Amino acid sequence: MTPIEIVAPEKAGFSATRLGRIGDLTRRYVDGGKLAGAVSLVSRRGKVVYFDDYGQRDREAGAEMTLDTLFRLYSMTKPITSVAALMLYEDGHFLLDDPIADYLPAFADVQVCVGMDVTGMRLARPERPPSVRDLMRHTAGLSYGWFQDTPVDQAYRDAKMDQRQYSLTEGVEQLAKLPLVYHPGRAWRYSYATDVLGRLVEVLSGESLDEFLQRHILGPLGMRDTAFQVAPEKVERFAACYTLPNNAQFIADGSTPSPADTTLALMETPATSRFTKPPVFLSGGGGLVGSTADYLRFCQMLLNRGVLDGVRLLGRKTVELMTMNHLPAELIPINISMPDPGAGFGLGVKVLVDQAVSGRLGSPGMYGWGGAATTTFWIDPAEELIGIFMTQFMPSGHYPVTTQFQRTVYQALVD
């Protein structure tokens, strides 16, 4: 990892004393046994003012957390895949409101679940076909299979959509055989939509998703540690992943928490992680692993409106389009397991549309997203500010640490 220069917080409008509260927050979580470790980064006006690690990346191996630790990005992959699609949009390959069936014919006959009767799901033709814009903003009617409010999600589970046994081509074709939960555009629902978008990237570019991302985004931005697979020589930097002892469904490698382990249970070791093996399913929605420093480069490119170190990925107006709210008022706020007050959604990122309703420090128009292992990032164009928090705990949202991190950053701004 190329060393990142850290400047005095006062040079970027922060109080050093107040910014130090980030470390206090992290220590409370780690020393309290809620998290194993974390890396926090804050950058403003192109200057990194805070970059620190604390705790352990692998408790069982006795490995300390380091700034170059590799984390499971999970859904922080989605904005990267969305940028890939928008690069093809700029090249004239599609319009946002084009039906996805124009490029992925398996969706030509997709149907919508409109209820249940004694024979099972009642199906109907969608009021309009799902579009590329719907994929980017999660309004296509797709789902993830882990919701409990619809028989469609049970159909996802029956099809074993979450077991990654399909290739990306096979997985998308299987999704197209399953009913939509809603008519496209009628509801916001977190889903495999960005995975379908990744397949669209493949079809339109003629490259596999991993090749496209490497050639057009990760390589040009110098994101050397970001990939769908952790290289063997980098496994020692890869974090273990943890969950709660009573969340048995998250324990993937057969490990059993000891009786004394009342807070954290090992979910996945670096050596046994699927991320250390060649992926079958190239997930544009959650398949990347990367470092904090790498993700800063991606964020800085977006904050710079498409360019970094002389390398332009997107035009200024395209970044503006990506990061504005694309949801109608009736679909705000977005809701995964609970409502996110004041939050709309753009083309691959959450967008703050009503700060007062959110009850959070920040600025209208700030955007970002998070990952299933309690990682998060946000970009505030008004303040020229980037915040990134990386850790290794599932499920995301169990602790409010990412929200607290954001608040701690903003309370330190004094200029």
Residue 1 has a pLDDT of 58
Model pLDDT, residue 245:
82
User: Band of the pLDDT at 337, cuts 50, 70, 90?
Assistant: confident
Q: In this model, does residue 72 exceed pLDDT 90?
A: yes
Q: pTM, whole model, 2 decimals?
A: 0.95
pLDDT in tens, 13-53: 999 999 999 999 999 999 999 999 999 999 999 999 999 99
In this predicted structure, what is the pLDDT of residue 247?
63
Pair 94, 132: CB distance under 8 Å: yes
Is the separation of the CB atoms in 372 and 394 below 8 Å? yes
Largest CA distance in the chain: 68
Which 3-state string (H, E, C) describes the chain? CCCCCECCHHHHCECHHHHCHHHHHHHHHHHCCCCCEEEEEEEECCEEEEEEEEEEEECCCCEECCCCCEEECHHHHHHHHHHHHHHHHHCCCCCCCCEHHHCCHHHHHCCEEEEEECCEEEEECCCCCCEHHHHHHCCCCCCCCCCCCCHHHHHHHHCCHHHCCCCHHHHHHHHHHCCECCCCCCCCCCCCHHHHHHHHHHHHHCCCHHHHHHHHHHCCCCCCCCECCCCHHHHHHECCEEECCCCHHHCCCCCCCCCCCCCCEEEECCCCCHHHCCCCCCCCCCCCEEEHHHHHHHHHHHHCCCEECCEECCCHHHHHHHCCCCCCHHHCCCECCCECCCEEECCCCEEECCHHHHCCCCCCCCEEEEECCCEEEEEECCCCEEEEEECCECCCCCCCHHHHHHHHHHHCECC
Asked if residue 238 has pLDDT above 80, the reply is yes
Q: Across residues 301-308, what is the average pLDDT?
A: 98
Domains along the sequence of the chain with CATH: 9-82+213-411 (3.40.710.10), 96-192 (no CATH)
What's the pLDDT at 250?
41
**Which distant-in-sequence residues (6+ apart) come within 8 Å of 10 by Cβ?**
16
What's the CA gap between 51 and 299, in Å, rounded? 15
For the segment 353-388, what is each residue's pLDDT rounded down to a tens digit?
999 999 999 999 999 999 999 999 999 999 999 999
Write down the residue that tokens 């969608």 correspond to. 126
Per-residue pLDDT at 295: 98
Please indicate whether residue 281 or residue 250 has the higher confidence score (pLDDT): 281
Q: Residue 255 has which token pair?
A: 């490990």
Q: Could you tell me what percent of the chain has a pLDDT over 70?
A: 96
Q: Is the peptide bond preceding residue 184 cis, with omega within 30 degrees of 0?
A: no
pLDDT at 205 > cutoff 50: yes
pLDDT, position 217: 98
Q: What is the pLDDT of residue 2?
A: 66
- Cα distance between residue 176 and residue 107, in whole Å: 5
Other C-beta atoms within 10 Å of 148: how many? 6
| Mean pLDDT on 149-176 | 91
